[in-house]
Structure 1
Amino acid sequence: MSKLDNERANNLKSSLLPDPEMGEPFLLTPGPLTTSFAVKQAMLRDWGSWDGDFRAMTADMRRRLLALLGAEQGAFECIPMQGSGSYLVEAMLGNMVPKDGKLLVLANGAYGLRAAKTMEAIGRAYHLLDKGDYLPPRGAEVADILANDPAITHVLAIHCETSSGILNPIAEISQVTYAAGRKLLVDSMSAFGAVPMEPDQIRYEALVSSANKCIEGVPGFGFALVRRSELIATKGNCHSLSLDLHAQWENLEKSGQWRFTPPTHVVAAFLEALKAHEAEGGVAVRGARYTSNRDVMVAGMRELGFETLLDARWLSPIIVTFFCPADERFVFDRFYELMKDKGFIIYPGKLTVVESFRIGCIGQMDEAIMRRVVAAAKQSLEELGVTSAAPPQAAFEERKKLNA
């Protein structure tokens, strides 16, 4: 390793544990998120996209993702694809929904609505069930829509809707979808790797996720996990040259290469993240750590007077939405800056009825870090002069609707 490479490695090593004095705060977001030193270090080397070593890395990554999925051997295929999570959602919809098919989009936040916009953009028929900011789509209403619209061929569900932090009832949705003779597609961007999704437990035809979420890689690509029989049937169906999952899969199977220039450094980092995920104990242990992060953080924030949008049965271990305090001295933008000064980047809210903000539970963090988050929130409230973090009455009315 050259002197310059040694300096770079030493600089990165100093950020193994992020610290505001070192210029790297913890990212309390649903991804990008705080990554390990090993993941960062994996990006220090350049890779040739056509070289045998990189092709072997791609093959290893695909094998590991299929093993993580937990499907019967040969039942599913893994197709990595360049771009953000939204690219993968569009790829899944453009490949899996036939040109003469129709999609039922289950939306309870920004990502379901974005899927509906995607269907409109690619010229495919869809029906939108919009539950608003946070209410979960339930099996009975899905069954009712399917019974009254025989043109619907597929259903799209968002596994974890990060607008609110809600973990949607995928098993319930799957059951009614297949009882009606339809097929389920899952956007599991923010949940795959931490919440079990074994296809023999919950039926679906395709699932998409991203490198920079619960597996704790960095942004740059996503992947589709598709039932092999369904994937074969999609040949020629895609609306796009670059987002054609079938064509990408064929090329990977034939040559081991991506069709277009892959994000080589990101793949190297992701492979390191996959190894760490396995070493930690897989989906169950990763999910348990995130759940513990959530529970410690939520308990601490409630002690300060904050209230969560959701009650326990809907809280995901990914990100939690809190109502903003009613105290007029609480200004979110100032609170955000104070938290950032203390080493924590939180997330704005997306609710339309009342003001809110979100705190992520994923990434290279543990209970000790979450206690520091609560301490930083307490200090920030004091600096704002806020004596009570209790939300306005309207917030309780909204939560009452959810729990009805």
Structure 2
Amino acid sequence: MRTGSATASEDFEPPALGEPYLLTPGPLTTAYAVKQTMLRDWGSWDGDFRAMTADLRRRLLALTGDTKSEFDCVPMQGSGSFCVEAMLGSFVPRDGKVLVLANGAYGLRAAQTMQYLGRAHTLLDKGDYLPPRGDEVAAILDADPAITHVIAIHCETSSGILNPVAEISKAVYSRGRKLLIDSMSAFGAIPLDINDIRYEAMVSSANKCIEGVPGFGFVIARKSELEAAKGRSHSLSLDVHAQWAAMEKTGQWRFTPPTHVVAAFLEALRIHEAEGGVAGRGARYERNRDVMVAGMRALGFETLLSDRWLSPIIVTFFCPAHANFAFDRFYELMKEKGFIIYPGKLTVVESFRIGCIGRMDEHVMRRVVDAAGRSLAEMNVPDAAPPRTALDERAKLAA
């Protein structure tokens, strides 16, 4: 791990061999020290690796503010979506009903997961531009007493919107229901302290704001919910209670763990702590966003969202209306300049996304803006303004 200032520009140089920066919501650009830890092999049953797993669980719990030992952390093999399915399948009773709050692809994926699970659910779909609000949640819960749980997406990365989970939580618990949070792309940079926001369980992933590499996610849940989940899961491998029980008894993962990924994640956690934890990481990402958004707007680009809802995780931009602009060409030109951006996921208008997370700072983001400007010039696109219809649609839906 490098020492010195956590914000010095030399700490945010691209990795060896000229690899591009990943301007995505994860996988993302990682520190060299994180990569370096994966050069060693670990025995999955060995005491040293069991100690690593215990350390991982303890450090993640510390990020939630759990001083009363009411919660526990259960790492799970697989991608973030594996963990979301594990959470829903383990903590929602088979006779329960879930209100799914959606304003993008990942809320809709949660609803799709409920369909696969064959468990009752209802969907509040706010589209791409707006978050679900507490009063809307309250009204739905009042109208449907069968709803037992609500699932909210902390940061919806298909649009880049940061959802108001605090007010959603108040609405949920004032009506005696339970909240589950998909904090996949926010945990580690956006506060989710259990002393400020009540929830039963949340999930996140190794390759997001902690800046590790893909391979596992984790469920942080109340111990009472973990105990109640025994025998409830629809799946052998996605049974959160069974994984928790095995780790509590043996310190081991039930099935082959991603040993190298765990080692990398522990190094990423050490870097995260050195940067100032959630507050320090979040502050850097916010500065990344502010510098990048200001620069892109100066080029004529428009953000999908108003400033109020822009997350410091990823930002969606409308594609320019100019006839010479083609996203595929823009993507390749940006990649040639050392930056991999992200296609859009909107259904109404053409868009693309630029991530603010990963091992980079505001100096890198200025280079991103410069690369975007040079790419537009190479495409002979003098104006990055979006189609008038896109702005009209944004204004109509945001009204």
TM-score band w.r.t. shorter chain: over 0.9
The percent of aligned pairs where both chains have the same amino acid is 76
Match status 1:83 vs 2:63: no
Distance 1:168 1:233 in 2: 28
Alpha-carbon offset, residue 140 of structure 1? 1.4
Contact 2:344–2:353 (CA under 8 A) maintained in structure 1: yes
For residues 114 and 400 of structure 1, do their structure 2 counterparts lie closer, same or farther at Cα, with a shift above 3 Å needed? same
Q: Deviations over 1:157-202 (max 9, x none)?
A: 0000000000011011111111111000000000000000001101
- TM-score calculated relative to the size of structure 2: 0.96
Alpha-carbon offset, residue 402 of structure 1? 4.6
**1:133 alignment partner in structure 2:** 128
Alpha-carbon offset, residue 16 of structure 1? 7.5
**1:282 alignment partner in structure 2:** 277
Distance 1:320 1:98 in 2: 36
Distance 1:55 1:238 in 2: 25
**1:350 alignment partner in structure 2:** 345
Distance 2:130 2:350 in 1: 17
**2:17 alignment partner in structure 1:** 22
Alpha-carbon offset, residue 214 of structure 1? 0.1
Distance 1:177 1:96 in 2: 16
Q: 1:294 aligns with which of 284, 289, 314?
A: 289
Contact 1:16–1:37 (CA under 8 A) maintained in structure 2: no
Match status 1:56 vs 2:51: yes
Structure 1 regions of 5+ residues with no counterpart? 1-14
Contact 2:13–2:360 (CA under 8 A) maintained in structure 1: no
Distance 1:93 1:256 in 2: 24
Compute the RMSD of aligned alpha carbons. Answer: 1.4
Q: Deviations over 1:274-316 (max 9, x none)?
A: 0110011000010000000000000000000001011111000
Q: Secondary structure at the match of 1:223?
A: strand
Distance 1:37 1:240 in 2: 37
Q: Secondary structure at the match of 2:377?
A: helix
Contact 1:310–1:402 (CA under 8 A) maintained in structure 2: no
Contact 2:12–2:359 (CA under 8 A) maintained in structure 1: no
Contact 2:23–2:342 (CA under 8 A) maintained in structure 1: yes
**1:271 alignment partner in structure 2:** 266
Q: 1:148 aligns with which of 143, 149, 163?
A: 143
Structure 2 regions of 5+ residues with no counterpart? 1-10
Alpha-carbon offset, residue 129 of structure 1? 1.0
Distance 1:73 1:25 in 2: 43
Contact 2:227–2:241 (CA under 8 A) maintained in structure 1: yes
Distance 1:227 1:310 in 2: 34
Match status 1:31 vs 2:17: no
Contact 2:99–2:123 (CA under 8 A) maintained in structure 1: yes
Distance 1:286 1:133 in 2: 26
Greater alpha carbon shift after TM alignment, 329-338 vs 389-398: 389-398
Q: 1:381 aligns with which of 342, 364, 376?
A: 376
Q: Secondary structure at the match of 2:151?
A: strand
**1:4 alignment partner in structure 2:** none
Distance 1:283 1:23 in 2: 29
Q: Secondary structure at the match of 2:43?
A: coil
**1:372 alignment partner in structure 2:** 367
Q: Deviations over 1:309-349 (max 9, x none)?
A: 11111000000000111101010000000000000000001
Distance 2:279 2:175 in 1: 31
Distance 2:273 2:358 in 1: 15
Alpha-carbon offset, residue 131 of structure 1? 1.3
Q: Secondary structure at the match of 1:156?
A: strand
- TM-score calculated relative to the size of structure 1: 0.95
Distance 1:379 1:38 in 2: 32
Q: Secondary structure at the match of 2:309?
A: coil
Q: Secondary structure at the match of 1:224?
A: strand
For residues 238 and 325 of structure 1, do their structure 2 counterparts lie closer, same or farther at Cα, with a shift above 3 Å needed? same
1:5-404 matches, cutoff 5 A: 17-18=13-14, 22-404=17-399
Distance 1:229 1:269 in 2: 31
Alpha-carbon offset, residue 398 of structure 1? 2.4
Q: Deviations over 1:26-82 (max 9, x none)?
A: 000000000000100000000000000000000000000001111223111000000
**1:6 alignment partner in structure 2:** none
Distance 2:42 2:397 in 1: 50
Q: Deviations over 1:210-249 (max 9, x none)?
A: 0000000000000000011111111111111101111111
Q: Deviations over 1:97-128 (max 9, x none)?
A: 00100000001111111111111111111101
Q: Aligned letter for 1:210?
A: S
Q: Secondary structure at the match of 1:219?
A: coil
